[in-house]
Amino acid sequence: MNRRSLLSAGVKAGVAMFTLSGAARRAFAAALPVNITEFSASDLSTAIAGREVSCLEVMQAYLQRIQVYNPVYNAIIGMLPDDECLALAETADAELARGEYRGWMHGMPHAVKDLTPVAGLPYSRGSPLFKDRIAELDGAVAARMRAAGALFVGKTNVPEFGLGSQSYNPIWGATGCAYNPALTSGGSSGGAACGMATHMLPIADGSDMMGSLRNPGAYNNVIGFRPSAGLVSGDDPFSRALSTSGPMGRNTADTIRLLHILALAPGAEQPAALQQALPNPDEYRPLQLAGLKIGWLGSYAGYLAMEPGILDLCESNLALLESNGGIVEPVMPRFDMAELFQCWLDLRNQGRIGMREYYENSATRPLLKPELVWEIEQGYQLDAADIYRAEAIRRRWYAEINRLFESCDFLVSPTAQVFPFPKTTPWPAEINGRAMDTYHRWMEVVIGGSLAGIPVINVPVGFDAEGRPMGMQVMGPFAQDRKVLEFALSWERITDHLARRPDLAAV
């Protein structure tokens, strides 16, 4: 039995993995890498469930790797002491010995993004206001991963309050790119993406408002998936909240598995489309690329500033897609894109109302990053008419996106407008000679998917001459999460970008 067919049999949910025959187990074990941290998360899950490796061995391997590389990359913060981590692993082994298998993440060392509370771990959100805070309870996505057997060893680094696509803050410092620790890992899920790309973590969770799963996915050459609004987060799905939690993976198969853990169980409160959005994880299959229609948004006909080389890199990958039967055509929304960005600003700034208490307190205002102060101040200038107008623009954007999907299976654009830049730079002040007038203008390319609340995945497109990674975001219609993920499975078949691993720097 080859490894692919074995995994197809062996990754079946729950305790079915315990029933592999002795020959199948031996074949699986022989096919695994020597180094445990090189296992994909799916392989690791199968190996743990089949007792081919112990949870203690897995924990020891990951702790050793973290000790060697985390001082350089600074992806994982607030770590538990090693002895407590090892005790968690011993408990997980004891559960398996009793026949108690908790789920796909059983025995996996995991660090949760530091915008989510995890009982007993730091919950700073990168802010000096909360530098000593320890969470008392698990947040919703953390609770789902704990129930699936995850062993929480720490948190992953974020920008202050998750604001900005550059993961630096005054408490924990900056996180470096897996391919060059002097450059940024992106954000706000920068610690998550870097921790996974450096193989200090087998899988990673994150969240995405303005590309926070997609941008660090591109900057670290991993998969980052923003689900349809309402599929994972507990917000009202009909309002299509701007932010959602979601999965990241070293490959698409791992990303799919974690999505199924993070996703809410279908309920009557969800739109009917979302209730049917996800099949069983074993039912995903790569799409047939022949005949697929891809709408290439590019730079929106020059509206977006792009660092030289990004469009060329993406277009060379689209040519590969065409050689496999895909149909790629340039498209341009019938929309005033400047109006869309103002809509984005108004809705984002209005969302800062909950932070006004820190701004209005003379003792806490000096502890806020300037970009947050600016957003709060912009929010004070908004009135009900501004928000009504922004929501009206957003509804028109829904309609325009739906119109484009009438003739396209997917809409595609670069994931970022610049390659990874020095982590000592808070944000790019200009791109290709064009000044950026806000601290997040340089990530404007991601707002279309965020405002529409549609599923978007970052897939890798390779590297520039300096070895800096880049990705492409692939957008599908609302609730077509399966279709987007199956496209990514196909993408992995025709490209080998994920196979290029970083040359890591150690202490």
Residue 363 falls inside a structural domain: no
Q: How far is CA 37 from the centre of its chain?
A: 20
Residue 150 falls inside a structural domain: yes
Residue 65 falls inside a structural domain: yes
Task: Report pTM.
Answer: 0.93
- Cα 396 to Cα 418: distance, rounded to the nearest angstrom: 29
Helices 22-31 and 41-49 cross at an angle (nearest 10°) of 140
The β-bridge relationship of strands 293-296 and 327-330 is: parallel
Expressed as residue numbers, the domain containing 412 is 32-331+408-499
Residue 352 falls inside a structural domain: no
381 CB neighbour count, 10 Å cutoff: 9
Residue 210 falls inside a structural domain: yes
Going residue by residue through the chain, which has 507 residues, state the pLDDT in tens, using 9 for 90 and above. Answer: 233 333 333 334 333 444 455 666 556 556 666 699 999 999 999 999 999 999 999 999 999 999 999 999 999 999 999 999 999 999 999 999 999 999 999 999 999 999 999 999 999 999 999 999 999 999 999 999 999 999 999 999 999 999 999 999 999 999 999 999 999 999 999 999 999 999 999 999 999 999 999 999 999 999 999 999 999 986 665 678 999 999 999 999 999 999 999 998 887 677 778 888 899 999 999 999 999 999 999 999 999 999 999 999 999 999 999 999 999 999 999 999 999 999 999 999 999 999 999 999 999 999 999 999 999 999 999 999 999 999 999 999 999 999 999 999 999 999 999 999 999 999 999 999 999 999 999 999 999 999 999 999 999 999 999 999 999 999 999 999 999 999 999 999 999 999 999 999 998
- Cα 474 to Cα 439: distance, rounded to the nearest angstrom: 24
User: What are 476's two structure tokens?
Assistant: 């599908």
**Please, are residues 111 and 76 in contact by the beta-carbon 8 Å criterion?**
yes
Residue 372 falls inside a structural domain: no
Total count of domains within the chain? 1
User: Which ranges in 285-383 belong to alpha helices (H)?
Assistant: 310-323, 337-350, 356-360, 370-380
Q: What is the DSSP letter of 436?
A: P
Half-sphere exposure of 59 (CA within 13 A, CB side): 25
Residue 346 falls inside a structural domain: no
User: What are 264's two structure tokens?
Assistant: 């809410």
Task: Give the SS3 label for residue 158.
Answer: coil
**Please, are residues 459 and 484 in contact by the beta-carbon 8 Å criterion?**
no
Residue 403 falls inside a structural domain: no
44 CB neighbour count, 10 Å cutoff: 26
- Cα 289 to Cα 303: distance, rounded to the nearest angstrom: 29
- Map tokens 């949760």 to a residue: 112
Domain of 318, CATH number, reads: 3.90.1300.10
